[in-house]
Chains A and B, each alone.
Chain A
Amino acid sequence: MKIIIAGAGAVGTHLAKLLAGEQQDIVLIDESAEKLSKLESNFDLLTVEAKPTSLADLKSAGVNGADLFVAVTPDESRNVTACILAHSLGARKTVARIDNYEYLQPKNREFFRGLGVDALIYPEMLAAKEIADCLRKSWIRQWWEFAGGALVMMGVKVRAGCQMLGIPFMELKKDEPYHIVAIKRGSETIIPKGSDCVMENDLVFFMAARSSIEYIRRITGKAGYPKIKNVLIMGGSRIAVNAARLMHEEMTVKIIESDRARCEWLTELLPSDVMVIHGDGRDRELLLSEGIDSAQAFVALTDNAETNILTCVASRQFAPVKTVAEVENIDFISMAESLDIAGVINKKKLAASTIYQMLLDADVNNVKSLTFADADVAEFTVSEKARVTKCLVKDLDLPQGATIGGLVRGKEGMLVGGSTQILPGDHVVVFCLGSMIKKLEKYF
């Protein structure tokens, strides 16, 4: 597959690296030779020093016949223009990065498609959604919905109160209404077998129907976990604005921003029930006077990953808050995770995985690369005569490191055991290690 990425910024570079490992033909376009030179020597991709909005440059980069054109320069209008040009020059599918919620509205989708922009991604919005999801279901670390929410997968950090600590899976009841698809222990991701068991401080990934969420909450000892009512956000970035807009109806949100002019800018964008505080979020006195001790969550969204991680850790000395940190430096993600920060937000990863999902065959409608586990979750729609329909699941001989979590038939979510027969038309959710999705595609 031929993919052209315009803009060698953070998102573009990350996406290029991700895709280069997948044996795709990647062409990365940017005006700056300096940015490109670092990449070409280290990765298996072609770089072209060109202007993304120049017709001649796009032609010479081979846009005609490209399967996907991704415009991820920092400038929204350039991205849209580049996509329009690329489409008219013969790119099959185009994706533009934007920073404007208006464009994302469903009613405008057809308009943009008419212009030749097939999909829009808004990394700040993706990050804000991630934060909101993380805080809404406060006892859950990670959360995915499949087939419109009939089936959910969630990552729960297991502490001492959990009922199933130390019990091997084969000794647990057979008809439990969940399926443990993966366990993340330290830096290792395990696809569990019957002899494995859950241990304290594991991050356990459950697959279950929506109706059994409360049951899982009980058995993992999270029944008494507080619902998040007050949220303190440090750093008035665009992510903060979008997150506050998503959450302000359910929670009381306060944003601390150190730049006065930016505070004024925030008040113009935010709903009136979000309070903007002018001050430094690292200031202990300020945090206390603004009531960190009665907050249930602390979200750090400054530009600086180190500041975010450290303030999150420090905030826990005031109250047992749930912490979320924006960590743009990919190398720090595992460190943040080891410091027990509940949500680690990385715009680049979110944007790249969203685009990555668009690359996969049209049958796959939801792939998300996990920040915590080196694993992918994919949803496949089973086609007629697919290999999985030929026999029961236990006889399928799936590759090592992949497991079928559950399936959605009609509108009903169900778990998949060894003796389940998968039918054409089912939506199957697969959990797999590494970049295995391409290998799995042949089964469906």
Chain B
Amino acid sequence: MHIKTILRILGSLLMLLAVIMAGCAAVALFFGGTDFFAFLASALITVLLGLWLLYFGKGGEKQYSRRDSYLTITLSWMLFALVGTLPFLISGLITNFTDAFFESMSGFTTTGCTVIGDTEAIPRATLLWRCMSQWLGGLGIVFFTVAVLPMFGFSGVQLFAAEATGYAKMKANPRVAVSARWILTVYVSLTILCTIALWLCGMHPFEAICHSLTTISTGGFSTRNESIASFHSIPMEWVLVLFMFVGGINYTLIYLAVVKGKVRDLLRSSEFHWYLFIVFIFTAIITGGLVHREDRDFITAVSDAIFMVVSTQTTTGFACTNYSTWPSWVWMILGFSMYFGAMGGSSSGAMKSSRIAIFAKSIAAEFRRILHPNAVLPVRMNGMVIPSSTRTTVLTFVCLYVLLVLFGWLLFIICGMDFPNAYGMSLCCLGNVGIIVPGTSCVGLPLTVKWVSCFLMLVGRLELYSVLLVLTPTFWREGNF
């Protein structure tokens, strides 16, 4: 373990966070908000903390091991969530630490659950801060590799690998730092495009910025209490559907398609087909159900269904018009889409379509094996055979994911939640979705529930293995023995 190196990285990450806090302070000054002092103080504290960590990390080794990368990732998210509580606590917007930590964790993991009862009442800079935290969290590892690791002379390969367990990583460039820089460019451009589109649909520019930050990052924080529903604008919903969907596409593929002109790579990707297919199936089922059982007219049913399906599947968690009146079977179906998630290498959470695809194909292969016991039945993605070791990793991931949902469900019930809400909460935290069963709010949940939620959000955001690995005793054994 190279503690000094890890501290150095964490320290410089804090500096970056301080810059963003200072930015929020400037915004507060501009709008004349009451939270100017809070952001200024938070930025100062963060800088001091960062300097302190950098001081301790001085003279760190120029080495970086596999376990270091897992530990760095887990620690950095925890540290971000911790420091992220400062503006809330100092401004007095949230008085209790648990709530502030929950809000902050929900931001950096792009979940989007909130404990703030009246979002419309909080100052603008704080709104921006919440959205900014999701934007940073959504970019996740890519952001680290671009901004941080090259400063220390590390290639960043290990970190990239840490979040991308379970499926083949695509390399668009021989050097990770180069592709990461391009991915950052794609991310920023998408955010700007989304802002302009929302603005053109009639959203206030500030709110357009906030919403696009949380749309591209598939986070789901909104500036309004009733989320998107309060705008009552169909064009706005369609713009959001489009950008949430794009936010769920693998950024490397977007980069290849847009910058290198290889649109074919995207269109031929098996995972993309599965992503489209799953969105289509869920939309069709829910539309059918709404038209048939609820007597809705077709156009609004499609519009609502596709919005909610894309919102839950990309794990964004925006809510549209009158979703709360929908019957419970629709919620069960939306719950399934929360398991699935969008594409790997995007900002979305949950299992990801590639794992679902490999899982489904493995099931089909097992059925065929019963009839043909001697057959060698490969699972293919993009026409390439998936090695059986990868298959095992994926199957383990899927099982672990379901187990964790059940485990969370159980814990929430023990903490006193009722049956359906506990399930919804567990699913939406682990998948970083942030939309629970209608009528449920995170305001006033028991303390234990909030801490369990924070844990699930973190585990889900970092693709299960990274956090759970750090919790195993073997991880800490000296010298990887």
Q: Among the listed A260, A264, A268, A275, which residue makes an inter-chain contact with B375, where contact means beta carbons less than 8 Å apart?
A: A275
Chain A residues near B377 (CB, 8 Å)? 275
| Contact call A277/B376, Cβ cutoff below 8 A | yes
Q: Among the listed A263, A286, A289, A290, which residue makes an inter-chain contact with B376, where contact means beta carbons less than 8 Å apart?
A: A263
| Contact call A276/B375, Cβ cutoff below 8 A | yes
Question: Is residue B325 contacting chain A, with contact meaning CB distance below 8 A?
Answer: no
Given that A267-B378, A268-B378 are contacting pairs, would A275 and B372 also be in contact in the complex, using a CB cutoff of 8 Å? yes
CA distance A189 to B374 in the complex (A): 45
Q: Among the listed A266, A268, A272, A278, which residue makes an inter-chain contact with B374, where contact means beta carbons less than 8 Å apart?
A: A278
| Contact call A276/B385, Cβ cutoff below 8 A | no
Chain B residues near A266 (CB, 8 Å)? 376
| Contact call B372/A267, Cβ cutoff below 8 A | no
How does the 8 Å CB contact mask read for A249-293 relative to B, with 1 for contact and 0 for none? 000000000001001101110001001111100000010011000
| Contact call B384/A277, Cβ cutoff below 8 A | no
How does the 8 Å CB contact mask read for B361-398 relative to A, with 1 for contact and 0 for none? 00000000000111111101001110000000000000
| Contact call A286/B374, Cβ cutoff below 8 A | yes
Shortest C-beta distance, B268 to chain A (Å), equals 15
CA distance A290 to B371 in the complex (A): 9
| Contact call B376/A267, Cβ cutoff below 8 A | yes
| Contact call A277/B380, Cβ cutoff below 8 A | no
| Contact call A290/B374, Cβ cutoff below 8 A | yes
| Contact call B376/A276, Cβ cutoff below 8 A | yes
For chain B, which range describes its interface: under 10, 10 to 19, 20 to 34, or 35 or more residues?
A: 10 to 19
| Contact call B374/A264, Cβ cutoff below 8 A | no
B372, B373, B376, B378: most-surrounded residue (chain A CB, <10 A) = B376
| Contact call A268/B376, Cβ cutoff below 8 A | no
Shortest C-beta distance, B144 to chain A (Å), equals 34
CA distance A289 to B375 in the complex (A): 11
B-side binding surface: helix, strand, loop or mixed? loop
| Contact call B385/A268, Cβ cutoff below 8 A | yes
| Contact call B372/A277, Cβ cutoff below 8 A | yes
CA distance A420 to B35 in the complex (A): 105
CA distance A17 to B377 in the complex (A): 45
Shortest C-beta distance, B367 to chain A (Å), equals 13
Shortest C-beta distance, B231 to chain A (Å), equals 46
| Contact call A277/B378, Cβ cutoff below 8 A | no
CA distance A272 to B385 in the complex (A): 9
Chain A residues near B372 (CB, 8 Å)? 275, 277, 289-290
Shortest C-beta distance, A101 to chain B (Å), equals 16
CA distance A257 to B232 in the complex (A): 63
Chain A residues near B375 (CB, 8 Å)? 275-278
CA distance A272 to B374 in the complex (A): 17
Chain A residues near B374 (CB, 8 Å)? 277-279, 286, 289-290
Shortest C-beta distance, A292 to chain B (Å), equals 13
CA distance A290 to B374 in the complex (A): 9
Shortest C-beta distance, B40 to chain A (Å), equals 60
Chain B residues near A278 (CB, 8 Å)? 374-376
CA distance A263 to B372 in the complex (A): 14
Shortest C-beta distance, A22 to chain B (Å), equals 46
Q: From A268, which residue of chain B is reached at the shortest CB distance?
A: B385
How does the 8 Å CB contact mask read for A286-328 relative to B, with 1 for contact and 0 for none? 1001100000000000000000000000000000000000000
Shortest C-beta distance, A247 to chain B (Å), equals 19
Chain B residues near A263 (CB, 8 Å)? 376
CB within 8 Å of B: which A374-407 residues: none
CA distance A277 to B368 in the complex (A): 12
Q: From B383, which residue of chain A is reached at the shortest CB distance?
A: A272
Q: From A283, which residue of chain B is reached at the shortest CB distance?
A: B374
Q: From B371, which residue of chain A is reached at the shortest CB distance?
A: A289
Q: Among the listed A267, A279, A289, which residue makes an inter-chain contact with B385, where contact means beta carbons less than 8 Å apart?
A: A267
CA distance A141 to B375 in the complex (A): 31
Shortest C-beta distance, A220 to chain B (Å), equals 37
Shortest C-beta distance, B363 to chain A (Å), equals 16
Q: From A266, which residue of chain B is reached at the shortest CB distance?
A: B376
Q: From A264, which residue of chain B is reached at the shortest CB distance?
A: B376
Chain B residues near A276 (CB, 8 Å)? 375-376, 378
Shortest C-beta distance, B369 to chain A (Å), equals 11
CA distance A276 to B385 in the complex (A): 13
CA distance A286 to B372 in the complex (A): 10
| Contact call A272/B376, Cβ cutoff below 8 A | no
CB within 8 Å of A: which B316-375 residues: 372-375
Q: From B388, which residue of chain A is reached at the shortest CB distance?
A: A264
CA distance A268 to B375 in the complex (A): 14
Chain B residues near A289 (CB, 8 Å)? 372-374
Chain B residues near A260 (CB, 8 Å)? 376
CB within 8 Å of A: which B434-456 residues: none
Chain A residues near B380 (CB, 8 Å)? 272
Chain A residues near B383 (CB, 8 Å)? 272
CA distance A76 to B338 in the complex (A): 52
CA distance A275 to B369 in the complex (A): 11
Shortest C-beta distance, B357 to chain A (Å), equals 13
Q: From A272, which residue of chain B is reached at the shortest CB distance?
A: B380
Shortest C-beta distance, B292 to chain A (Å), equals 37
CA distance A260 to B374 in the complex (A): 10
Q: From A255, which residue of chain B is reached at the shortest CB distance?
A: B376
Shortest C-beta distance, A264 to chain B (Å), equals 7
Chain B residues near A290 (CB, 8 Å)? 372, 374
CA distance A268 to B384 in the complex (A): 7
Shortest C-beta distance, A263 to chain B (Å), equals 4
Q: From A257, which residue of chain B is reached at the shortest CB distance?
A: B376
Shortest C-beta distance, A358 to chain B (Å), equals 35
Shortest C-beta distance, A240 to chain B (Å), equals 14
CA distance A267 to B375 in the complex (A): 11
Q: From A262, which residue of chain B is reached at the shortest CB distance?
A: B376
Shortest C-beta distance, B185 to chain A (Å), equals 35
Shortest C-beta distance, A280 to chain B (Å), equals 10
Shortest C-beta distance, B385 to chain A (Å), equals 5
Q: From A236, which residue of chain B is reached at the shortest CB distance?
A: B376
CA distance A359 to B66 in the complex (A): 62
Q: From B380, which residue of chain A is reached at the shortest CB distance?
A: A272
Shortest C-beta distance, A80 to chain B (Å), equals 27
Shortest C-beta distance, B360 to chain A (Å), equals 14
Shortest C-beta distance, A232 to chain B (Å), equals 13
B374, B377, B384, B385: most-surrounded residue (chain A CB, <10 A) = B374
Q: From B373, which residue of chain A is reached at the shortest CB distance?
A: A289
CA distance A266 to B378 in the complex (A): 10
CB within 8 Å of A: which B97-131 residues: none
Q: From A275, which residue of chain B is reached at the shortest CB distance?
A: B375
Q: From A276, which residue of chain B is reached at the shortest CB distance?
A: B376
CA distance A276 to B376 in the complex (A): 5
Closest 8 CB pairs of A and B: A267-B378, A263-B376, A276-B376, A279-B374, A268-B385, A277-B374, A277-B375, A278-B376
Identify the B interface with A (CB < 8 A).
372-378, 380, 383-385
Given A272-B378, A272-B380; 14 other pairs, CB 8 A cutoff: A260-B376, A263-B376, A264-B376, A264-B385, A266-B376, A267-B378, A267-B385, A268-B385, A276-B378, A277-B372, A277-B375, A278-B376, A289-B374, A290-B372
Identify the A interface with B (CB < 8 A).
260, 263-264, 266-268, 272, 275-279, 286, 289-290
Can you list 11 A-B contacts (CB < 8 A)? A260-B376, A264-B376, A268-B384, A275-B372, A276-B376, A278-B374, A278-B376, A289-B372, A289-B373, A289-B374, A290-B374
